[in-house]
Structure 1
């Protein structure tokens, strides 16, 4: 018999987990339906159960504790959202930063729609409670719990992807990666918990409103950072190849106009067909005595629409990315943020101070101008112009200041964004040619 010759053992390329988007989407929708039904049957009980708890907190509240929880509460408000976007722009790559801004502004838009649809009062709208500050829009869901859960979970997922700590490729999983991933998650959950508790302490939300905010914030984060992650990254990187018609009319812009129209109709219909009960307005005037400005509207529907207009600033993000890729040309530096912590910090500070003139409208005094003027000049324009400068020109300014990494893909290489869960990309590349750099995979051209 012929001698048997053993074949050399084939070295298998580490492969990511199979990614079944349809299954994940069905699971997400099923979970959402279950949670919405659960909320429907428990919200009244939790609302009433929360009132004695809030009254107790307000009875033991001191100016010092109120100040502390007011500061904590700001980590789910609009100014900290802007800060998070600036930080992510200077420490994450462009698609991930776009995801942070998209999550934040989608959460703001969803928040206003849900408040109008649920039409649920805050605790001090219907009970004898004196809040530390009078937030006047409807109560359900809690905006701070929704935004904080969405933002912090988003940052957790994107930081893990950027650092390579995610469990995408099981063969590359290590105890050290898992420990880092869980540590960052624990920090994110702690921040979410503190922000949410601060809203109960300050007397402006009940427990069911907090839980409802957690639910929707988590859903938005999972939808964008997991199920649609690849599509959003691909969309961001493909803008340079699209013509004017494609830039104006695409899936994202159509949904933006649809949601904005829906919000406008909700505001108009809600004000006419489902007006705020007079007893609520009277209770707000009583509990907020001395805490309202002369021109403040105590109608929650008006307040909801004011907050929704902040979501319009995602237009500035979109236009900024287009300008950078079509005109400025700094998109050719995909590794721009891969600099030292000191350099990244200096770049972030320079971005803020040089861009300050674009947001000067926030200093406008609301009680001296009409409602429309305040909406446009104090809320819409500053956030939109600020984002336009950040995504369109700040990298060019940093380039002139020598504050970015100007490394480009080597000649003869294709650089493609890492396709989460796409086995085909890994299979196309021999094991020795794979170079995963903060979410990028480079391979030589054939």
Structure 2
């Protein structure tokens, strides 16, 4: 039996289990959760905003919620690249970019409103105009931060794992509470985010983990065409086609109710008339192009930069760790520094290209290439121990026997 055939036989049962879980959840969600929990949640949220409103609590939840938004996620990505081995860091950022693409497709399919679409009494501090189901923040807390916690435990050889997981549990509860209290999501959208986050983590970090690791290890052996024509690129293209079809379907057969638009315009005046969630779902999908940029950035670093022969070790000391994180964050921040100056009511093309597609590709490329070279030039990585490339490449394609696990 060939290695490829054996891998397919191992993946098939996992994919069948995943498919069965999706069918069961969708059935329960459609029959029991979607309408019932949605209506209860909106009533509760209007009550919380009118009778039990607390400004300090709202600001506290807003600050917590930002950890699953642009700058919070960027910081975690910088920490990952600055502290973790290449494969773990790559997986961390890959999860980030692909969650956004998957989440926007799901939102376009379910097309359920956010609470502040329905009531002018629920005014969010920060407007997010995509549909609400499933909650992207909950998916990030479930998959992205779960993976990050595992990487921290395994990279730093932490013995008191229960304490670390307790912190993660508290953080997760605060994230989902913030999304409900601040009027961004309903109860059923939170449950949906939990399920799809788990399903996403299982798919990427269990079913396809070995394939992704091998792809990263093998970049020195690939031509430019081979780097471009890979399963990640195909998946992105298929996802984009699906997103386009969903946009066409939504605009022609499931248009956004005028009451949603009126409430959203009242709650989010800075966006002008550009508040249709069908367009917002589509505009944000190009963030997933970072999954392609990651592979190109890794290939450039591994083929052309002298830093390729060295790994980032955790024995460099706290000051070097901190310096690497700050340098990484500065590089990414400067690559997207212009984004706040693009008006929210700009043209559709400007929003797609300048706010999402271009900065996502540039950031994905830079985060795995330039920072490590800068660390190398500044002596912020261990230059005394070279990576055994021949031994590393010999592991590629050998199956589960040599599978690099983070768990």
Instruction: Give the alignment's TM-score, normalised by structure 2.
Output: 0.88
Please tell me whether the aligned partners of residues 219 and 299 of structure 2 are also in contact (alpha carbons under 8 angstroms). yes
Alignment counterpart, residue 125 of structure 1, candidates 117, 135, 144: 117
Which stretches in structure 1 are left out of the alignment for 5+ residues? Answer: 1-18, 166-175, 427-435, 440-446
The 2-side partners of 1:83 and 1:235 are apart by 25
| Residue 325 (structure 2) aligns with | 348
Aligned equivalents of 1:25 and 1:158: distance in 2? 24
* Deviations 1:373-417 (CA, angstroms, capped at 9, x unpaired): 233223322232223222121111111100011244587972469
2:211 equivalent to 1:218:
no
1:306 CA displacement = 2.3
Q: Distance in 1 between matches of 2:232 and 2:200?
A: 15
5+ residue gaps, structure 2: 1-8
CA distance 1:293–1:127, change in 2 (3 Å): closer
Deviates more, 1:262-271 or 1:351-360: 351-360
Question: CA contact under 8 A between 1:90 and 1:344: conserved in structure 2?
Answer: yes
**Residue number among 125, 137, 161 corresponding to 1:144 in the alignment:** 137
Cα separation, partners in 2 of 1:334 and 1:398, compared to 1, 3 Å? closer
Instruction: Give the secondary structure class of the aligned counterpart of 2:210.
Output: helix
Residue in structure 1 matched with residue 3 of structure 2 by the alignment:
none
Q: Call closer, same or farther: CA 1:238–1:262 in 2, change over 3 Å.
A: same
Q: 1:384 to 1:56 in 2, by over 3 A?
A: same
Aligned to 2:155: 162
- Pair 44,347 (structure 1): closer, same or farther in 2 beyond 3 Å: same
CA-atom RMSD in angstroms? 2.8
Decide which of 369, 372, 390 is 2:367's aligned counterpart: 390
For 2:352 and 2:387, how far apart are their aligned partners in 1? 48
Aligned residue number for residue 358 of structure 1: 335
* 1:87 is aligned to 2:74: no
Contact 2:236 2:288 in 1 (8 A): no
Any conservation in 2 of the 1:93–1:335 contact (CA below 8 Å)?
Answer: yes
1:53 paired with 2:44, answer yes
Query: Residue 36 of structure 1 corresponds to which residue in structure 2?
Result: 26
- State the partner residue of 2:92: 100
Q: Displacement of 1:208 after TM fit?
A: 0.1
Describe the shift of the 1:88–1:410 C-alpha distance in structure 2 as closer, same or farther (beyond 3 A).
closer
TM-score, normalised to structure 1, is 0.80
Q: Which has the higher helix share?
A: 2
For the 8 Å contact 1:230–1:419, the answer to whether it is kept is no
The answer (yes or no) to whether the contact 1:47–1:207 under 8 Å persists in 2 is yes
Cα distance in 2 for partners of 1:410, 1:86 equals 22
Partner of 1:72: 64
- Give 1:372's match in structure 2, choosing from 349, 360, 385: 349
